């Protein structure tokens, strides 16, 4: 883990259910007692950080991507659009031009090269961004519209929103989508540091290895937090030691943590050993003021 000042930290995990959101929310809330923090929920398919907020959001804005819309009246079926689309998002079916919005990357190529202006770009809603504000703590939740299949464009819109609206907030913490596929990669791409949350079980180790491989391919500085420490075995610790991966903290297994979390309550101000684990992470990341 680097010693340089941290501006953005991603909290990620190789699989769901490891305690990633518990850690991200509590870490952000704890640090916000000393400095302004933005917590961004980038798990757009299943955002759940807002369960900790008692009030409704301060703002909710619809988010759109631009998709070409076929104008049958102008089209001469010349095939230029289907040839230029490198994402295979537009095809000719008989005498119709069909756009597959899930595959469209909004690159404008077909729209701009259509000789008949038969493919104007139109807004298509893909989700919402909601914000909450409480003292030094800001929550930005990005949520994909039901039925939309592509998480990455929504993550990019949320990142743009964060960079437009919160560039003066000194610390951003991102709660990332679980797994190691495109949404997770898109979420951690621009951050300074990554915290990989895992648990000391064979499943935890297996998914941690995949997440570590991804971080190394992306050349991201990262460390590991072992959640539910005390259950399972020592294989995760042995793996981290062998691979020279820093363990930022061990969060002891405690049923009371799960109980508080399930009631939508913050944990760090009620359970001392949990707060100590967060302090350890702060120290390791240079976030102690």
Residues at the interface with ligand SF4 (CB under 6 A): 68, 70, 75-81, 84-85, 87, 89-90, 97, 99, 104-111, 114-116, 118-119
- Residue 225 is given by DSSP the state E
**Closer residue to ligand SF4 (CB): 69 or 145:** 69
Helix (H) or strand (E) run with residue 110 in it = helix 109-113
**Closer residue to ligand SF4 (CB): 69 or 237:** 69
CB of 154: closest distance to ligand SF4 in angstroms? Answer: 16
**Closer residue to ligand SF4 (CB): 1 or 66:** 66
Tell me the DSSP string of 173-188.
EEEPPSSSSHHHHHHH
CB of 160: closest distance to ligand SF4 in angstroms? Answer: 18
CA distance 119 to 113: 9
**Closer residue to ligand SF4 (CB): 98 or 217:** 98
CA within 13 Å, CB half, 233: 9
CB of 163: closest distance to ligand SF4 in angstroms? Answer: 23
CB of 98: closest distance to ligand SF4 in angstroms? Answer: 10
Sheet containing 121-134, strands listed edge to edge, beginning at the edge strand earlier in sequence: 59-68, 121-134, 137-144, 37-41, 171-175, 8-12, 193-198, 222-229, 247-252
**Closer residue to ligand SF4 (CB): 89 or 140:** 89
CB of 101: closest distance to ligand SF4 in angstroms? Answer: 8
Distances (CA, A) of 57 to 3, 45, 157: 35, 18, 18
**Closer residue to ligand SF4 (CB): 105 or 161:** 105
CB of 179: closest distance to ligand SF4 in angstroms? Answer: 25
CA distance 59 to 57: 5
Please list, residue by residue across 65-101, b when 16 or more beta carbons sit within 10 angstroms of its beta carbon and e when fewer do. Answer: bebbebeeeebeeeebbbeebeeebbeeeeeebebeb
């Amino acid at each position: 883990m680097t010693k340089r000042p941290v501006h953005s930290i991603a909290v990620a995990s190789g699989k769901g259910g490891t305690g990633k959101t518990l850690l991200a929310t509590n870490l952000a809330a704890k640090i916000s007692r000393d400095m302004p923090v933005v917590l961004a929920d980038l798990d757009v398919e299943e955002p759940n950080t807002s369960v900790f907020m008692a009030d409704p959001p301060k703002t909710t804005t619809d988010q759109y991507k631009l998709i070409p819309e076929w104008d049958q009246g102008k089209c001469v079926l010349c095939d230029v659009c289907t040839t230029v689309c490198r994402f295979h998002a537009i095809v000719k079916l008989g005498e119709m031009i069909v756009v597959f919005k899930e595959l469209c990357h909004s690159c404008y190529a077909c729209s701009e090269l259509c000789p008949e202006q038969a493919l104007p770009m139109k807004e298509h809603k893909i989700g919402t961004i909601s914000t909450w504000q409480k003292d030094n703590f800001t929550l930005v939740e990005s949520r994909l519209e039901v039925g939309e299949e592509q998480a990455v464009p929504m993550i990019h819109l949320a990142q743009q929103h964060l960079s437009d609206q919160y560039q003066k907030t000194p610390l951003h913490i991102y709660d990332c989508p679980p797994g190691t596929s495109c949404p997770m990669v898109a979420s951690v791409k621009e951050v300074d540091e990554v915290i990989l949350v895992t648990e000391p079980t064979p499943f935890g180790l297996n998914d941690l290895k995949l997440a570590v491989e991804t971080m190394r391919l992306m050349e991201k500085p990262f460390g590991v937090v072992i959640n539910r420490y005390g259950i399972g075995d020592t294989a995760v610790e042995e793996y981290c030691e062998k691979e020279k991966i820093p363990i930022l903290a061990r969060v002891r297994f405690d049923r009371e943590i799960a109980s508080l979390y399930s009631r939508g309550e913050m944990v760090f101000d009620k359970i001392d050993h949990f707060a100590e684990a967060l302090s350890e992470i702060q120290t390791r990341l240079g976030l102690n003021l």
